[in-house]
């Protein structure tokens, strides 16, 4: 069976039976969509691949609970976002543990964005510290409220708002540097 000729419903039913061919078809069909979500949260493509594969493992193990009458993409997106957040939290725990071990021993974005490619935007987001990038993605891209973000990340609402503000300030500087380099290079 080819992925393009097989209905999504048949693929999902196959995934419920742990059919490897169906799982492969689902993975291939939604790889690009899922990877685009993971890339916004990860530091690099390799990290995004780890998140993506973890997310698909969660999808395959939880597909029995998915209501086949509902659209798949929002459910898949939520799993990828939550997996990204879990990955971020685990990374933060590792960073804190490493830090403890070591301790023991001005542009308007609305007018600029149209001149920047998706790849350049992702590159700029990767220049943000992970805590700022995660809050920025959840708020600006995913549309979550600060209360929801705080709950998901285990931080206060004030920290969420502060991280968003700092992310925007960092992005302004990154955008400013980007366009100054671009302007100087063109002269």
Q: Which fold has domain 1-105?
A: Rna Polymerase Sigma Factor; Chain: A (1.10.1740)
What tokens were used for 111?
């007018």
CA triple 21-59-122, angle to 5 deg: 105
Q: What is the pLDDT of residue 180?
A: 75
Q: What is the pLDDT of residue 104?
A: 63
Q: How far is it, in rounded angstroms, from Cα 98 to Cα 28?
A: 37
What is the block-wise mean pLDDT of the chain (187 residues), using blocks of 10 residues? 65 95 96 96 94 96 92 96 93 82 57 67 87 91 91 93 92 84 52
**In the chain, ranges of CATH 1.10.10.10 domains:** 106-187
**In the chain, ranges of CATH 1.10.1740.10 domains:** 1-105
Q: What is the pLDDT of residue 37?
A: 95
Q: What is the pLDDT of residue 114?
A: 58
What tokens were used for 25?
């078809």
Q: How far is it, in rounded angstroms, from Cα 186 to Cα 47?
A: 34
- Does domain 106-187 fall into CATH 1.10.10.10? yes
According to DSSP H, which parts of 42-71 are helical?
45-62
Q: How far is it, in rounded angstroms, from Cα 34 to Cα 30?
A: 6
Q: What is the pLDDT of residue 3?
A: 42
Consecutive H or E run containing 126: helix 118-126
């Amino acid at each position: 069976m080819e992925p393009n000729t097989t209905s999504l419903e048949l693929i999902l039913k196959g995934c419920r039976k742990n059919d490897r061919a169906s799982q492969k078809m689902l993975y291939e069909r939604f790889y690009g969509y899922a990877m685009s979500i993971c890339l916004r949260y990860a530091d690099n493509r390799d990290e995004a691949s780890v998140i993506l594969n973890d997310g698909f493992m969660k999808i395959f193990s939880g597909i029995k609970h998915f209501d086949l009458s509902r659209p798949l993409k929002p459910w898949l997106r939520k799993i990828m976002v939550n997996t990204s957040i879990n990955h971020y939290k685990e990374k933060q725990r590792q960073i804190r543990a490493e830090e403890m071990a070591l301790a023991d021993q001005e542009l308007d974005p609305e007018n600029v964005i149209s001149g920047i490619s998706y790849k350049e935007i992702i590159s700029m987001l990767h220049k943000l510290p992970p805590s700022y990038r995660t809050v920025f993605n959840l708020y600006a891209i995913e549309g979550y409220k600060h209360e929801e973000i705080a709950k998901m990340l285990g931080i206060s609402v004030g920290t969420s708002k502060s991280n968003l503000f700092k992310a925007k300030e960092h992005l302004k500087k990154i955008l400013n540097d980007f366009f100054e380099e671009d302007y100087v290079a063109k002269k």
